[in-house]
Structures are given as C-alpha cells and as structure tokens.
Chain A
Amino acid sequence: MAGVRTPREILTNRVAIVAVFVALAIMLTPIYWIASTSFKPRNLATTIPPTVVFEPTVSPFVKLFTKRSQLREQPTQEEYDAAPWWEQMVFDGGEKVVRNRRSGEVTMSGYGDRFTNSLIISIVSTVLAVSMGTLTAYGFSRFKVAGEDDWLFFILSTRMLPPVVVAIPMFLMYRVVGLNDTHLGLIILYTAFNLSFAVWIMKGFIDEIPREYEEAALVDGYTRMQAFFKVVLPEALTGMAATAVFCFITAWNEYAFALIMTNRNAQTAPPYIPSQVGSGLPDWTVIAAGTLLFLIPVAIFTFLLRNHLLRGMSFGAIRK
C-alpha cells in the first residue's frame, strides 16, 4: 500500500540508497578526476596528495586547441600586454602559441579535426549498423530463412575473437584498396563490428512485436515495406535507440583500429589525445581537457535517448 511502509521496507529503502551512493561514488570518481584535472594549472595536476582546492583555469583548453612551441626567451612586457588573455595563459606556462608568419593567424591543433572525425565516423557507422541490423533482424524474425540458426550463429561468431587479432590483415588489405586513413575505411570497420550486435539485439525486439500488427496492415492494403515502416518501425524504436547507444559508444571509444588504420585525415580523437603528451613532460591537464570534451557527445546522446533506454536495456522484458 502506498504511503504506509513497514520498518522492513524502510530499511530496504535505506540500504538501497546507500548502495546507490557507493556505486555512484565509484563510477563518478574518474570523471571527477578528469574534470578537475582539466581545470588545473599544470603544476597542480600531479601533486601528491592531490590538490582538491585550486583556482580553476581554462588554460588546458586553450592549449588543447592551439599549436604551441617552447619559449626560447621570455616575451617582452609589450608583447605580453598586446596578447589576448588566452595567449597570455600560454606564455604563463612557458610556451607560446604558434602563429602563421605572414598572416599572424593562430595555428590550431589537430584536436578539433579529430573530434569532428570521431563524430562523423561514429554517427555514420551507428546509423548504418542500426538500420542494416534492424532490416536483417526483421528478415530473420518474419521470414523463413534456410539455415537461420547457422546464419545467426555465424553473425555472432564474428564477435568471438578480439578484433585486434585481425588488425594486421585488415591493415594490409586496406592499404591495397586504399582505405587506409579514410573516413570510409573506419566507417566500414565499425559498422561491421556493430552489425552482429545490432542484428541480435534487434531480433529480440522484433520477435516481441506481434506479427498481427503487420498482417493487419497487409490486409488493409499496404505493402510489406509500408507495413514495416508504418507499423513495425514505430514499435521497434525503443530497441533501436538502445542498440544505437551501444553501437555509438563502441565506435566512439574504439582505439586500436583507429590507431593502426589512421594517422591524419581520418584519425579519431582516441588515438590523438594520448599523443598530445606535450613538449617535454606529459601535460596531463591538456589530456584531461581533451578527454572531458570527448565524454560530452556520449553523455548528450544517451541523455536524449534516455526515455527509450530504460525500456530498451531490459531487452523487452517489461514490455506489456
């Protein structure tokens, strides 16, 4: 009964709250660490014990987006005063922002491009994997496919070995066909990874959608394709959202293939961030800033799909 709770229920509730806090603490600590480091001045980033109270600075972000070089000599007071606030920050760190000799324009670091690459490759491969996976799953779910179980097992078996195992052969093949360091190359790879997952998850969801819906539409004068788009797809959206989140995270976080297959044009953020150890000692604040920004798209994506996720993650178990 709502409102009236037994002592036992109150206790259970408290235990649950404590458990949630413990879990949150464990999961949020690394994120706190990244976030706090990305606002620290460089000299406080690696202190032992860790500095908790400090005056936050955005200099790591300035450094993240600009190309810098070591200062050979201190800038004159005039030079320093003439520089904008963000350039002064770089001077304060013993570095200077690299500018074009003729135009004087600031040279940007590669982070922005790599971030854009990550977005393009992850989004396109997610869309491809989810849409192809949904169609394949629909086929397996609704039609008699000769050797259906074998096919499904085969699709799943592509996940049975660590992907890195095939990295070298893939690299050699990609070199021959000219897919090395291209967006298309990584998109194909990530789509292939995620497709097996998408097929299996989506099959579970589509199996749960009663056939009667489509059959009613077929009888009502619609084609199989129209019935799929008008009746099945709206019902499958929840599952597609959940699948999309998983696929997006996999593609977004992928490191090994991105490291091997790309170096400039199509390089994604994951292999780029650790390569920016800075001149001399690694600059952890810049790495933390790059990582923090890198977390944001996944957070936004998951947040946008949160309503679908709760139902989706339970794989249809609580579907009415």
Chain B
Amino acid sequence: MADIALQGITKKFGSNTALRDLDLEIKDGEFFVLLGQTGAGKTTTLRLIAGLEVPNSGKVILDGHDATNWNAAERDVALVLQQYSLYPRMTVRGNLEFPLKSRTQNFTAAEIKERVDRVAETLQITRLLDRKVERLSGGEMQRVSIGRAIVRQPRVFLMDEPLSALDANLRDVLRVELKKLHSELGATFVFVTHDQVEAMSMGDKIGVLNRGRLVQVGTPSEIYARPLNTFVARSVGTPPMNLLDGVLKGNMAVLDAGKFSLPVASPHGGDGNRIRFGIRPEDVVLDDNGPASARVFDIENHGVIKILTLDIDGTHLHATVSAQTQVHIDDTVRFSWKPEKVLCFDPSSGRNLGLG
C-alpha cells in the first residue's frame, strides 16, 4: 500500500528527452492509468517508479520516503509487462515462487506453497501450475504474470500494457478481472496503456501524457467532459471529438465550413475571435430543422449505434446516431448540436478556453 509522487522528473536517453519536468501524484489504493501514444513516456514513467531507470533530475517519493536512489528490489513493487515477462524454462509454479524465494523475502516452503496455491486459485490457473510457461497461451501467460505480481503482495502494481498483446475477447475478460483484483487487494495500481477504452473503463484517475509531458490528470469523466486542450480532447472517445474552426459571434458559432451558425451555451474566447469548437460525435444531432447541412460520406454500423461521417465541403465530422436512424451514403442531412456540450479551444495553443 503506498502513495507515489514524482516531483520534477526529467529523464533523457542520450539527446532524446523522454520526460520533461514531470509532476505526478498517485494516491494509495488508486487505479491510475497513464494514457499516451507510443513514445509519450508512459513506459519510462513506469520504469522510473519501478527503479529500473534513474531520473536525470527530480525525485521519486514512495510513501513519503525519497526512493529516487533505491534499487528495484528495495522499492517493493511488482511489474507486469506486455510480454516476455515470464521466466522461460520454469514451470508456472516456478514462476510464481520466484519472487518469494528472493533474499529479501523470508518464507518457509509451506508458506510459499500456500501463497502460490491461493494466487493460482484466484486467477484460475491451478491446473496449469506444473506446465512449462512456453506451452501456455497468451492469456494464460498474462494470468501467470499477474499472479507473479500479486503473490508477493507488493505495495504497488505497475502494469505496462498488459493486455495489448491479447485478442479482443480475452482483453475484455482480463480487464474485468484486473478491476476486480484491484478492489479486492486495495493496492495502488499504475497501469500504462495507449488504449483509451482501457483507460476510460479501468482508471480511477487518468494521466494523459504527450511527448514527455503530463498534459492532464483527472477522473475519466473529467478528462472526457473537460479536456484541458485539444490533445486530451482527441485522446479519449471513439470516434474522437470533432474540432471545427470558426468565429464566435455572441453566443453563436459561425463555422468556416458551410458558414453555418450554431448556438453555443457557454461561449469563451471573446466575441469575434477565431475559435476551434469542440463537439463530441454523440452530441451532434441529426435534426430536419437543424441549422447546418452536410452530405453523408460514410456509415459505420456498430449494431447499437451508427457512426456517420459527415462532409461539409471537404470538412469531415463524426456523428453518433442510433442504429435505427435511416440514412444512406450521399444523402444530404440537416443537423445541429447540443449547445451546452460545445467546448471552445484556442486555435493556436489548443487550450480549452472554458477552463479559466
């Protein structure tokens, strides 16, 4: 059980700066998700917490103690990786026992067996215990990896895209199990992913990383509804938030595309200024009396919903509509949006003008 704090962390690899002046606080028992693209610095952050990397500057604080110079063994954390994390040439039992047999631990053979058996039961891998890890499927391997992490009951669980190498069904199953495990163990989880669905569905808190900087930290709903800038806005949500350039006139948005005027409930950024308006696809409504019109460019039917791609003279925007909606490609539709959901961003910096 532990609080984690990163203070002013900078990490360079040669001339390449992986993390710049990163500040992050993770509370005890939190399921914290680090979301970002490849190269954003998520894995580096995780490795810094694990003690596998030393920062060029800044501090890693574990439970109030400066742990910057502690080695991995001293930090008492567990790591689950995307792949290659199991020791080959050992059985599943061998892998699960391995952390308990290190010199930092003092367990009797009976205690080890008891713990391993209990963990195996929790993760439903008892029947695999005597199998060599090379002969496991991807999902089984990941269960064993998770088992190896929890068997030691560390203060922090670090997971580096543990589900990305699995197929979709298995990913859903393990996602639920991990969440359940988290609530049972009550331990601090730091979970790295590039998958915003994972981030939204699993995290108590999400930290969005972009090019070595932490852009925003918040609960999934905060990140979704009040993104700090256009980067965060487009990082979550499927399809991502529509961004449309235009001019703010009173409480109307005059879009560049088609010169349509649409209402904005809480306008920011000053009358007459150029604004980038953000609207999520589910807040775009098809409405025969709507002020704007567009051609249907593409339809993706997802069963419950349809995702429409609308074309206004070459500008595309997405709209999520109910699957019952009857539309065809190349139809011309009229639409509106929910004025209270519109966000105003600065077109040059991308900053959300509505957040002070």
Contacts and interface: CB of A to CB of B under 8 A. Distances in A.
Interface string A214-247: 0111111111001000010011000000000000
Contact of B103 (A215, A221, A231): A221
B87 A215 contact: no
Interface in B35-70: 50-52
Contacts of A234: 88-89
B108 interface: no
B164 interface: no
Nearest to A218: B72
A219 B84 CA distance: 14
Nearest to A211: B84
A222 B102 contact: yes
A142 to B, nearest CB: 12
A218 B52 contact: yes
Contacts of A213: 84-85, 87-88
Q: Count chain B CB atoms within 10 A of each CB in A213, A215, A219, A222 and give the residue with the most.
A: A219
Interface residues of A, number: 16
Contact of B84 (A212, A218, A221, A226): A212
Interface stretch (B74-82, B318-326, B331-339): B74-82
A223 B104 CA distance: 10
Contact of B79 (A210, A219, A226, A235): A219
B145 to A, nearest CB: 8
A221 B81 contact: no
B105 interface: yes
A219 B50 CA distance: 7
A216 B73 contact: no
A219 B75 CA distance: 8
Contacts of B85: 212-213, 216
A240 to B, nearest CB: 15
A210 B81 CA distance: 12
B148 A220 contact: yes
Contacts of A222: 73, 102-103
B301 interface: no
A226 B103 contact: yes
Contact of A218 (B73, B81, B87, B89): B73
B6 to A, nearest CB: 18
B104 A221 contact: yes
A219 B78 CA distance: 6
A221 B89 CA distance: 20
Interface string A188-227: 0000000000000000000000101101111111110010
Given A212-B81, A221-B105, 5 more contacts: A218-B52, A219-B77, A221-B76, A221-B152, A226-B103
13 contacts: A212-B81, A212-B83, A215-B50, A216-B86, A217-B87, A218-B52, A218-B71, A219-B72, A219-B77, A219-B158, A220-B99, A221-B103, A223-B73
